[in-house]
Amino acid sequence: MRISRRALFFLSVALVFVLMIPPTPSEFRWLNLAMAGLALFWATLLVIEDLSNRRRDSDLPKGDAPSDMPSAG
């Protein structure tokens, strides 16, 4: 399965927030967790969007790709 670049981008943003937990002062660590969760949420949705677009593509007859399909970036 190939993951879109945007999903990978948000996965890396989530990773940065997680990696920044140890140096973050304890009173702000909830923010790292909340933001990592949000980034992971978007990464998951982008993966789902990518998969559903690909399924839609494969269901269509060849040469009949929809013109309004959002780019996976």
Partner 1 sequence: MGLTVVLIIAVALAFDFFNGFHDAANSIATVVSTRVLSPRQAVAWAAFFNFAAFLIFGTAVAATIAKDVVDPAVFDNAVIFAGLVGAIAWDVITWYAGLPTSSSHALVGGMAGAAVAKAGWSSLIATGLQKIVVFIVLSPLIGLLLGFTIMVSVYWLFHRNEKVDRLNRGFRRMQLVSAAAFSLGHGANDAQKTMGIILALLIANKQVSVDSGVPLWVVLSAHTAIGLGTLFGGWRIVHTMGSKITKLTPASGMSAELAAASTLFFTAHAGIPVSTTHTITGAIVGVGTTQRLSAVRWGVAGRVVWAWVLTIPGAFIVSYFAFLALKGIG
- Residues in contact with partner 1 by CB under 8 A are 5-6, 9, 13, 16-17, 20, 23-25, 28, 31-32, 35, 38-39, 42, 70-73
Answer whether 13's CB lies under 8 Å from 39's CB: yes
Answer whether 43's CB lies under 8 Å from 49's CB: no
CA dist., res. 50 & res. 59, Å (int): 14
Judged by beta carbon, residue 37 or residue 63, the one nearer partner 1 is: 37
Closest contact distance (angstroms) between CB of 61 and partner 1 is: 26
Judged by beta carbon, residue 41 or residue 60, the one nearer partner 1 is: 41
Closest contact distance (angstroms) between CB of 55 and partner 1 is: 20
